Structure 1
């Protein structure tokens, strides 16, 4: 009995360590802050959006809150200093971690890598439910056009 207990503890500890060792593919984004993450959203396919004004952010939250009572509050963002990036993963069968990093910067374009890595744990493997996760990040304004490069494990 004790052998099984120690085996389960060992597997659990090693799986937790694996989750923390995610390294970005590109350069880390200074000032990147996750301001919202939900496993169930209205976005059915992979999509990314850059939001540079309050009106557009409210429009996104109107879509998010259509099926939520009470709805999620719209985050307070100072758009004179920051912008918001919305990343929707679409339909997912497993839990995933998301990591954003800058792949390429030039005078007219910034390419951001959207790395999606599967979280491997006993809890997620037993679940089997379908989710539609979305992530909302706040970051300092990027003056160039922004494009996204999806990268899956």
Structure 2
């Protein structure tokens, strides 16, 4: 049996913050604001996995009101989300994701992101698609006020 999940996450960008995307620290003048390390890509993948099995979302399992998650590395949240999926008897087939941000260009970092995500989710890098697009300077993304990530996953019953 197969299950499909879709996830999306938004974070504001601010100067003086680190920019974590796909489990990789990206050099930039701005970073995402959030309770954890604010890695929008990993958060979207978590939501996609959890949603595929109707397990709620990342906020249900790792609420921003819980101080134990303050500043947490989102790779830990991804691993814990995947553990929930495995506990229900499923594994991932693939991940397809898109980052929406005006800057910086992330193409040079995609292989590192694929490796980080694939390693946690027991996939090969060929099973982890990471695309990026700008909004051609339109909207809060184009003004570099925020970053968005979307993710789709396919799960299969083990």
TM-score, L = length of structure 1 = 0.31
Structure label with greater radius of gyration:
1
Higher helix proportion (structure 1 or 2): 2
